Structure 1
Amino acid sequence: MASTATSSYVVRAGEPARDREATLAVWRGNLGRNERMAAKYDWFYLRCPHGQPLLQLLCATDTGAPVGTATAGRRRLHWQGSALRAGVLVDLAVLPEHRSLGPALMLQQGLMDSAADEALDVLYGFPNPKAGPVFKRIGYRQPFTLCRYARVLRHAGYMRTHLPRWLATPAGWIADVAMACLDAWHALRGPRLRAHWSDEVDPRVDALWEASPKGDDVVAVRDAAHLRWRFDDSPLATTHYLLLERARDRMLDAWFAVQAADNMLHVCDFWSADGARGMAAHHIAALLRAAHRQGHASVSVEIRASDAQLRGWRACGFRPRGYRPVFLRWTRADSPAASAAWFLTSADEDE
């Protein structure tokens, strides 16, 4: 690919193995703790099973030294029986003395050119709202948002922010009992399930993924190979799996990949035998009971999905708590999938 240049900078394609130290030098002090970023690089850039990321380096023309980076990590998508190749936008960093609109645009243009050269079908990302105008300027669309939903399990602490302390405890207890009854009702309406925790992905998720309906939305492939790399191999967070088996035959019926933070349990990803039709309320009720037994005060999840996929979460008391924009740019504007809706969770980011 030809380099893109201005009077001060040139953007060139990087090689993850060769340019590790140069990339980390740009990240240092810009993207988080140095030791954490080094571990993330080795995992995300050097061990991704879907292929090496598309790394772009912004170099100062006077010294040739990298002063900025931008990357698209590879992801496999499924849409109406077809495989799509995607890149998730990550790790945009520019040294403070070089930060302006021009360098950021150059890096993003470099990624778009690289995606075309590598035959990626689509680039997508979750930039902060302030970066929205930049992405729109270079041809990205924002067709939807990622919504964070939350459900309180232990209401006393929540009530103390709204009620006098003497009233918060009994009011919280009443709310806890009412929601526990709702969860029990949903559990009784479904098949008998056995729930247990695992520290690593269960190989049965492959059969579950293959057999489940995928619907008409664009969805990332959720097989064992991907989950093992995305969660088990990640040095950035500890992930556990709640596995739900049908009691009658021990077949895997659903799974949740979760991470604990303080008193909250965050659902990073999930899938079930119902697939695109939605995670059933009895599956979510089993998750809530398991989270409560572990002492968590709340459960959260981030989702971009159809109303059918959200129905079970809403029925179990999950309510919106915030939104983040999702930006897309298809390599071919006339792609048949360009107008399709997407199913996304926070696992579809880089960490």
Structure 2
Amino acid sequence: MTAAPSSYAALPADLQTDRSIIVSLWVTNLGHPERRQDKYDWFYLRNPAGLPQVLLAHSPAENGTAVGVIGLATRQMRLAGQTLNAGLLADFGVTAEHRTLYPAMLLQTSLRDRFLPQCGLIYGFPNPKSEPVVKRLGYKVAGRMVRYVRVLRSANYLPAQIPHLVRRAVGRTADWWRHTLRRTWYAHDFRGRRAQWMDQPDARFDALWAAQKDPALLIGVRDRSYLAWRFEPKPWRKFRFLTLSAQNDGLIGYAVCEVVGKVLHVRDLLCHPGHPDSLNLLFDTLFRDAYVDGRSSVSFEFLGPADIQSKLHQLGMLARDARNVFCTMTPEQAQALEQAQWYLTSADEDY
């Protein structure tokens, strides 16, 4: 039987002594048991921005078993040249027998009230089932994380009822019109540019990050240290960096990529503001290399400035679906943050 609401309590966890409890709750509620120990070591103990905060929901009160968990990771961001230590909601779950509204609300309310004054901004990517909870707590939609897709092999997406040989011929014709002919019409100038694939970021990434000076942009830190940590290789995940360099200006853009099945996913992307053609050159290279490697499409999730969205459309990337990004902020930060233009990719999430 579910405990009465008054018997629940949300209490801070100790990352050392409560490790097994936290991991067990993750396994029960979030799945992928083979990855949870690694997630704990990587995301909770080695975060370069500092140790995350974790709350556990207990029932009844302090002497009861932990039945829910929520994390808040520090995400260093920048706006108008000032550093902001934002909080990223992570790893939220309540065991099935306690999955009423009250324990979930208690965890979210306690986390917001305890830590929002310290960081000024909390944001997250709740699943549709969790959205009602965060809305009731006053979280607002910061924007829509849009998934853009460029199909590389049209035959794979034609109706299965079409005979294979016909589907293949039609697909090849469509691909020629969409890719080869388009590259002829909209050829970009690669002179003086060098594209290279890398397994890890190097010192040039710090200079590219330092060049990001748009005062209206709210953007998470993307220096070498953060990227090396965030895209650390895992047994079940492998990332590669496509870099674009100019002879006189060093690194002018990168894309962090992960292949899942037949799809090449762009997990993060950053371009030099002084080289407006760098985004086009990066994606042209991605399309070419992904096609040669046998990929069926290129995908990129992004919330950001309208000019970048427009360039993605011009590159033939179509918006397929979107999900909400929610945030809450202190009154002191509200004016600046509400006027800011967010820049978010998968690099700003917790997985």
Question: TM-score under structure 1 normalisation?
Answer: 0.91
Q: For residue 211 of structure 2, what is the amino acid of its counterpart?
A: A
- Which residue of structure 2 aligns with residue 219 of structure 1? 219
What does the per-residue CA deviation read over 1:162-181, in whole Å, with 9 as the maximum and x for residues that have no partner?
84433322221122222133
Q: How does 1:27-38 map to 2 (within 5 A)?
A: 27-38=26-37
What does the per-residue CA deviation read over 1:278-303, in whole Å, with 9 as the maximum and x for residues that have no partner?
96322211221122222211100000
What does the per-residue CA deviation read over 1:130-168, in whole Å, with 9 as the maximum and x for residues that have no partner?
322211111100131101010011222123448443332
Distance in 2 (CA, whole Å) between partners of 1:255 and 1:208 is: 9
- Which residue of structure 2 aligns with residue 19 of structure 1? 18
Q: For residue 203 of structure 2, what is the amino acid of its counterpart?
A: P
- Which residue of structure 2 aligns with residue 328 of structure 1? 327
Distance in 2 (CA, whole Å) between partners of 1:282 and 1:186 is: 11
- Which residue of structure 2 aligns with residue 182 of structure 1? 182
Distance in 2 (CA, whole Å) between partners of 1:219 and 1:275 is: 17
Distance in 1 (CA, whole Å) between partners of 2:216 and 2:252 is: 21
Task: Give the CA deviation at 1:234.
Answer: 5.3
Task: Give the CA deviation at 1:203.
Answer: 2.2
What does the per-residue CA deviation read over 1:193-218, in whole Å, with 9 as the maximum and x for residues that have no partner?
22221111222111111123435121
- Which residue of structure 2 aligns with residue 347 of structure 1? 347
Task: Give the CA deviation at 1:114.
Answer: 2.6
- Which residue of structure 2 aligns with residue 65 of structure 1? 65
- Which residue of structure 2 aligns with residue 112 of structure 1? 112
* Residue pair 1:13, 1:54 contacting (<8 A) in 2 also: yes
Distance 1:334 1:163, change over 3 A: same
Distance 1:255 1:220, change over 3 A: same
1:149 aligns with 2:164: no
Distance 1:275 1:295, change over 3 A: farther
Q: How does 1:29-108 map to 2 (within 5 A)?
A: 29-61=28-60, 63-108=63-108
Moved more, 31-40 or 313-322: 31-40
What does the per-residue CA deviation read over 1:248-302, in whole Å, with 9 as the maximum and x for residues that have no partner?
3482121110100011000000111128979632221122112222221110000
Distance in 1 (CA, whole Å) between partners of 2:74 and 2:346 is: 16
Moved more, 309-318 or 230-239: 230-239
Aligned-pair Cα RMSD in Å? 2.3
Q: For residue 149 of structure 1, what is the amino acid of its counterpart?
A: Y
1:139 aligns with 2:147: no
Q: How does 1:246-285 map to 2 (within 5 A)?
A: 246=246, 248-249=247-248, 251-274=250-273, 280-285=279-284
Moved more, 181-190 or 44-53: 181-190
- Which residue of structure 2 aligns with residue 206 of structure 1? 206
The runs of at least 4 aligned residues of structure 1 exceeding 4 Å deviation read 160-164, 184-187, 233-236, 275-279
Q: For residue 300 of structure 1, what is the amino acid of its counterpart?
A: S
* Residue pair 1:279, 1:312 contacting (<8 A) in 2 also: no
Distance 1:249 1:181, change over 3 A: farther
* Residue pair 2:10, 2:110 contacting (<8 A) in 1 also: yes
Q: For residue 272 of structure 2, what is the amino acid of its counterpart?
A: A
* Residue pair 1:156, 1:168 contacting (<8 A) in 2 also: yes
Partner SS for 1:327: strand
Moved more, 279-288 or 107-116: 279-288
- Which residue of structure 1 aligns with residue 292 of structure 2? 293
1:305 aligns with 2:304: yes
- Which residue of structure 2 aligns with residue 123 of structure 1? 122
Distance in 2 (CA, whole Å) between partners of 1:184 and 1:259 is: 28
* Residue pair 2:50, 2:74 contacting (<8 A) in 1 also: yes
Moved more, 179-188 or 73-82: 179-188
* Residue pair 1:212, 1:275 contacting (<8 A) in 2 also: no
Distance in 1 (CA, whole Å) between partners of 2:51 and 2:115 is: 12
Task: Give the CA deviation at 1:233.
Answer: 5.4
Distance in 2 (CA, whole Å) between partners of 1:185 and 1:94 is: 54
* Residue pair 1:182, 1:316 contacting (<8 A) in 2 also: no
Gaps in structure 2 of 5+ consecutive residues: none
Distance in 2 (CA, whole Å) between partners of 1:184 and 1:305 is: 29
Aligned length: 345
Distance 1:16 1:278, change over 3 A: farther
Distance in 2 (CA, whole Å) between partners of 1:326 and 1:310 is: 17
Task: Give the CA deviation at 1:186.
Answer: 4.2
Distance in 1 (CA, whole Å) between partners of 2:334 and 2:249 is: 41
Q: How does 1:229-244 map to 2 (within 5 A)?
A: 229-232=229-232, 237-244=237-244
Task: Give the CA deviation at 1:28.
Answer: 2.4
* Residue pair 1:277, 1:308 contacting (<8 A) in 2 also: no
Q: For residue 310 of structure 1, what is the amino acid of its counterpart?
A: Q
Gaps in structure 1 of 5+ consecutive residues: none
